Amino acid sequence: MMKFENPLQKKEPDSFHKYLKIEPFFFWMLLFIPISTYFAWFTNNKTLVFITSILAIIPLARILGYCTKEISLQSNPTIGGLLSATFGNAIELMIAILALKEGLVMVVQASIIGSIIGNILLLMGIAIFFGGIRYKKQTFNKQAIGVSSTMLIIAVAGLTIPTMYNFASSTGEHVETISYAVAIILALIYIAGLIFSLLTHKDLFDASDEIKTAREKPNISKRAAAVLLFITTAIVALESEFLVSGINEAAANIGLTQTFIGIVLIAILTNIAETISAINFARENKVDISFQIGLSSAIQIALFVVPILVIISKIFNYHFNLVFSIFGVITMFLAVTILNHLAADGICNWLEGAQLITMYLIIATVFFFIV
């Protein structure tokens, strides 16, 4: 008897080995996983360990983001938002925790600043530039972007308060307590932001036609994505340990400071996958999503990753606080100010993208000479 398929029957997505849609470039870069493992376990060359492990993390970041997206597409918005918060910056969090364990507080503080200004200036600048090359002008939902940029201003201001106190105080004896209190408060406003965007006012973030048309069907099943997510996270943890173990020797041999490694190298390379996604959306004239990728990632660093690091530091006595360099604080404020000015009219073009990139390159150049 011939069987007919019921068109109303829900079809489950195929397993990941058949429809894992990730650029071939990233699959080739997975070769750096065994290479970095070899250098870490069978040689004493920490510089090669550092270089190969950071190259291995790039494709892992892409796969991590892909799996998170696939699970989010098959979950309700609340679970999707929590997944994004947990795994969106998982690599930065792992590297930071391992670095704190090794006493590399300066690297962690630099990577926080680097991730925030990198997402605001570099990621969004590149996306707007490439989108602007294809389209003369692009429009976005300035109301939704305004909510996110305001949250980012509050986040940066919160991170700055302990630095200002330490600068004004003659002793700075309460800076650890202030950092802990600020971290808790920032975490609470982050939770409030999630409730606002995912529950009470989610219509603000669905108002854009670009975001509506960008919704897509999953390519792999939720179970397959979860398995791949677990495996990738485990490998990321191993590669992060390799990377952290080689920072000191690599910095000395390559001639880079720990500050530059944290602010530029780690921040850029761990966000390459998000940058590529932002570029792709901008070139499809969905620049709203590109903005949200950059803003959400920066907000997650400030309001999700930083509080976790402060709490872990307090528990294990890692001596991490929210006292950043004055120049680092200034660059964060400059980045947020420029972004808010750019987003005020709801229109962007390739020149504005080039301006954001230019500002990032100027800041990175100065950090190269800061010890």
Residue-level pLDDT at 209? 44
Residue-level pLDDT at 286? 84
Domain assignment of residue 333, given as a range: 25-368
Q: How far from 51 is each of 312, 317, 359, 367, CA to CA, in Å? A: 27, 29, 27, 20
**Residues 98-128: tens digit of each pLDDT:** 999 999 999 999 999 999 999 999 999 999 9
Residue-level pLDDT at 123? 92
Residue-level pLDDT at 27? 85
Residue-level pLDDT at 146? 80
Q: Give the gyration radius of the chain's Cα atoms.
A: 21
The number of distinct structural domains making up the chain is 1
Q: Is 138 helix (H, G, I), strand (E, B) or coil?
A: strand
Residue-level pLDDT at 358? 96
CA gap 4, 13 in Å, rounded: 19
Q: Could you tell me if residue 10 is inside a domain?
A: no
Q: Could you tell me if residue 8 is inside a domain?
A: no
Residue-level pLDDT at 309? 93
For residues 84 and 72, the answer to whether their CB atoms sit within 8 Å is yes
Q: How far from 151 is each of 222, 320, 360, CA to CA, in Å? A: 31, 24, 21
Residue with tokens 């409730």: 195
Residue-level pLDDT at 277? 80
Q: Could you tell me if residue 313 is inside a domain?
A: yes
Residue ranges in the chain modelled with pLDDT below 70: 1-21, 75-86, 88, 203-216
What's the count of helices (H) and strands (E) in the chain, helices before strands? Answer: 21, 2
Residue-level pLDDT at 188? 93
Q: Could you tell me if residue 349 is inside a domain?
A: yes
Q: Could you tell me if residue 219 is inside a domain?
A: yes
Residue-level pLDDT at 179? 92
CA gap 77, 71 in Å, rounded: 11
Q: What is the pTM of this model?
A: 0.85
Q: Could you tell me if residue 16 is inside a domain?
A: no
Q: Could you tell me if residue 162 is inside a domain?
A: yes
The CATH number that applies at residue 220 is 1.20.1420.30
Q: Could you tell me if residue 5 is inside a domain?
A: no
